[in-house]
Amino acid sequence: MAQFEEVSVNSKLHPKPEGLIMQYGTAGFRSNAKHLDHIMFRMGLLATLRSKKTKFTIGVMVTASHNPEEDNGVKLIDPMGEMVAVEWEIYATQLANAEQDSLLHELKSIIEAEGIDLTEPAYVFVGRDTRPSSASLSQAVVDGVCSLGGKILDYGLVTTPQLHYMVCCCNTKSCYGSATLEGYYQKLSQAFLQLTHNVPNRTDDQKRLVVDGANGIGALKMKELEPFIRSELQVLLSNDGSQGKLNHLCGADYVKVQQKAPQGVTLVEGERCCSFDGDADRIVYYYTDSKGSFHLLDGDKIATLISTFLKELLTQAELNLQIAVVQTAYANGSSTRYLEDIMKVVVCCTKTGVKHLHHAAQKYDIGVYFEANGHGTVLFSKAAHKQILELVKDPNINDERKHAAKLLENTVNLINQTVGDAISDMMLIEAVLAIRGMSVQDWDSIYTDLPNRQLKVTVSDRRVIDTTDAERRAVTPGGLQDAIDALVKKYKSARAFVRPSGTEDVVRVYAEADSQESADCLAHEVSLAVHHLAGGVGEKPKPLH
Nearer to Zn ion, 213 or 536 (CB): 213
Residue 463 in marked binding region:
no
Which listed residue (11, 51, 65, 134) is catalytic?
65
Eight-state DSSP code of residue 99: -
Please give the single-letter amino acid code of residue 318: E
Within residues 356-415, the interface with ligand 16G by CB under 6 A covers 371, 373, 375
- CA 226/CA 234 separation, integer angstroms: 8
149: phi then psi, degrees, rounded to nearest 5: 80, 15
Residue 502 in marked binding region:
yes
Residue 281 in marked binding region:
yes
Contact of 352 with 467, CB cutoff 8 Å: no
Please give the single-letter amino acid code of residue 254: Y
Interacting partner of 535 out of ligand 16G, Zn ion, none (Cβ under 5 to 8 A depending on kind): none
Within residues 453-512, the interface with ligand 16G by CB under 6 A covers 501-504, 508
Eight-state DSSP code of residue 471: T
How many residues does the structure list for the chain?
545
Nearer to ligand 16G, 150 or 353 (CB): 353
Within residues 268-287, the interface with Zn ion by CB under 5 A covers 277, 279, 281
Cβ at position 463, least distance to ligand 16G in Å: 13
Interacting partner of 358 out of Zn ion, ligand 16G, none (Cβ under 5 to 8 A depending on kind): none
Q: Which of 159, 352, 377, 416 binds ligand 16G (CB under 6 A)?
A: 352
Nearer to ligand 16G, 189 or 332 (CB): 332
Cβ at position 282, least distance to Zn ion in Å: 5
Tell me the CA end-to-end span of the chain in Å, nearest whole number. 66
What is the maximal distance between C-alpha atoms in the chain? 71
- CA 117/CA 49 separation, integer angstroms: 9
Residue 501 in marked binding region:
yes
151: phi then psi, degrees, rounded to nearest 5: -100, 140
Interacting partner of 277 out of Zn ion, ligand 16G, none (Cβ under 5 to 8 A depending on kind): Zn ion
250: left (phi over 0), alpha (psi -120 to 50) or beta: beta
Taking CB under 6 A as the rule, does residue 27 contact ligand 16G?
yes
**E runs forming strands in 371-459:** 376-380, 452-457
Question: How would you class 531 by CB atoms within 10 Å of its CB: exposed for 0-12, middle for 13-18, buried for 19 or more?
Answer: buried
Taking CB under 5 A as the rule, does residue 247 contact Zn ion?
no
Cβ at position 116, least distance to ligand 16G in Å: 26
Cβ at position 36, least distance to Zn ion in Å: 17
Eight-state DSSP code of residue 339: I
**E runs forming strands in 249-380:** 273-276, 283-288, 294-297, 323-328, 346-350, 366-370, 376-380
Q: Which of 49, 354, 423, 480 binds ligand 16G (CB under 6 A)?
A: 354
Instruction: Label residues 33-54 b or e (16+ Cβ within 10 Å = b).
Output: beebbbbbbbbbbbbbbbbbbb
Nearer to ligand 16G, 295 or 356 (CB): 356
Nearer to Zn ion, 276 or 364 (CB): 276
- CA 127/CA 61 separation, integer angstroms: 5
Cβ at position 324, least distance to ligand 16G in Å: 19
Nearer to ligand 16G, 46 or 331 (CB): 331
- CA 17/CA 493 separation, integer angstroms: 50
Eight-state DSSP code of residue 12: T
Interacting partner of 508 out of ligand 16G, Zn ion, none (Cβ under 5 to 8 A depending on kind): ligand 16G
- CA 469/CA 489 separation, integer angstroms: 19
Taking CB under 6 A as the rule, does residue 26 contact ligand 16G?
yes
- CA 23/CA 346 separation, integer angstroms: 35
Beta bridge partners of 497: 510
Interacting partner of 371 out of ligand 16G, Zn ion, none (Cβ under 5 to 8 A depending on kind): ligand 16G
Cβ at position 78, least distance to ligand 16G in Å: 13
Taking CB under 6 A as the rule, does residue 332 contact ligand 16G?
no
Nearer to ligand 16G, 272 or 375 (CB): 375
Q: Is 65 a catalytic residue?
A: yes
- CA 133/CA 43 separation, integer angstroms: 16
Cβ at position 279, least distance to Zn ion in Å: 4
Cβ at position 326, least distance to Zn ion in Å: 18
The sign of the CA dihedral 302, 279, 409, 170 is negative
Q: Which of 51, 54, 57, 65 binds Zn ion (CB under 5 A)?
A: 65
Taking CB under 6 A as the rule, does residue 23 contact ligand 16G?
no
Nearer to ligand 16G, 39 or 98 (CB): 39
Q: Which of 216, 251, 262, 353 binds ligand 16G (CB under 6 A)?
A: 353
Question: Residues comprising the binding site for Mg(2+)?
Answer: 65, 277, 279, 281
- By the criterion CB under 6 A, which residues form the site for ligand 16G? 26-27, 352-354, 371, 373, 375, 501-504, 508
**Looking at the annotation, which residues are catalytic?**
65
- By the criterion CB under 5 A, which residues form the site for Zn ion? 65, 277, 279, 281
